[in-house]
């Protein structure tokens, strides 16, 4: 099955369309295993989900979550860490149970062991039902940078200069941006039953051009999504040319 492309009029609509998919998922199965993402793009989706939770439309009480990635070297209480991002944008605002929330730890001593245990935990949970993704300007999904193996499970990766540059807005200066991250691998991501990718903003035009070309290559990690059977891409502020 090919990718289901959905154009949104604006960022607000993109966030609502994405929230509809999450709402439907939670309504169909309150025990859903959700794969979550960080970054500027999903912020609107998370506020929409918090709104719907406050309105009594959705509950996270029985859901489980696994986040895509975390910076190596940042503790959970570092304001630029993805633990902190998720707490402030979602977890502290909804009824998700603490022991159902999973993010790879970026400041553990044995990161390799953390990575291996992460995949096992995902498997033990029954696998991810719905995985949210953003995309880097270089085509990364999670922190799987260009050249990452399509066969990789959760692993530790060196961040590219372009990714560090893209993310420096969350730090005091570029030297503070970590050089490594721990990320769900491409293989792990592809095992999700359903995937929704959000693309917003003209700086992602190159990424959408690459993706819509249909060429599958490890040099552009998101291109693997063409091989998945249930992917929806919601986009705004970019043009899909073919």
Q: Which residues contribute to the site for ligand PGA (CB under 6 A)?
A: 39-41, 134-136, 140
Report the alpha-carbon distance of residue 155 to residue 119 in Å, rounded. 10
* Whether the Cβ atoms of residue 134 and residue 163 lie closer than 8 Å to each other: no
| Residue 138 annotated as catalytic | yes
Which residue of this chain has its Cβ atom nearest to ligand PGA in the complex?
39
Encoded tokens for 135: 């995309």
Nearer to ligand PGA, 39 or 185 (CB): 39
Q: Measuring CA to CA, which residue among 187, 113, 184 is closest to residue 149?
A: 187
- The nearest distance, CB 40 to ligand PGA, in angstroms, is 4
- The nearest distance, CB 30 to ligand PGA, in angstroms, is 28
With residue 192 as reference, give the H or E element that holds it: none
Indicate which residue of 67, 140, 167, 210 is catalytic.
140
Encoded tokens for 87: 């707490």
- The nearest distance, CB 38 to ligand PGA, in angstroms, is 8
Within 13 Å, how many C-alpha atoms sit on residue 23's CB side?
A: 19
| Residue 28 annotated as catalytic | no
Nearer to ligand PGA, 100 or 131 (CB): 131
Tell me which DSSP letter residue 159 carries: P
| Residue 43 annotated as catalytic | no
Interaxial angle between packed helices 11-28 and 43-54, expressed in degrees from 0 to 180 and rounded to the nearest 10 = 50
Nearer to ligand PGA, 73 or 237 (CB): 237
Nearer to ligand PGA, 40 or 146 (CB): 40
- Enzyme catalytic residues: 69, 138, 140, 145
């Amino acid at each position: 099955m090919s990718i289901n492309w959905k154009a949104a009029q604006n960022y607000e609509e993109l966030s609502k369309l994405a929230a509809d998919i999450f709402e439907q998922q939670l309504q169909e199965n309150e025990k859903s295993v959700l794969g979550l993402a960080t970054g500027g793009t999903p912020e609107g989706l998370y506020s929409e989900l918090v709104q719907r939770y406050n309105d009594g439309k959705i509950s996270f009480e029985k859901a489980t979550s696994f986040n895509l990635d975390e910076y190596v070297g940042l503790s959970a209480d570092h304001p630029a860490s993805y633990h902190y991002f998720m707490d402030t944008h979602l977890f502290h605002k909804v009824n998700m149970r603490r022991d159902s929330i999973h993010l790879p730890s970026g400041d553990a001593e044995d990161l390799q062991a953390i990575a291996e245990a992460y995949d096992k935990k995902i498997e033990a949970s029954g696998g991810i039902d719905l995985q949210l993704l953003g995309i880097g300007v270089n085509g990364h999904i999670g922190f799987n940078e260009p050249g990452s193996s399509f066969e990789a499970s959760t692993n530790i990766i060196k961040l590219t200069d372009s990714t560090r540059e893209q993310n420096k807005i969350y730090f005091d200066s570029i030297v503070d941006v970590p050089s490594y991250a721990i990320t769900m691998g491409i293989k792990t991501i592809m095992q999700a039953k359903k995937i929704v990718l959000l693309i917003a903003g003209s700086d992602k035009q190159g990424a959408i051009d690459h993706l819509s070309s249909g060429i599958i290559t490890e040099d552009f990690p998101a291109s693997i999504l063409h091989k998945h059977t249930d992917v929806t891409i919601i986009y705004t502020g970019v043009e899909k040319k073919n």
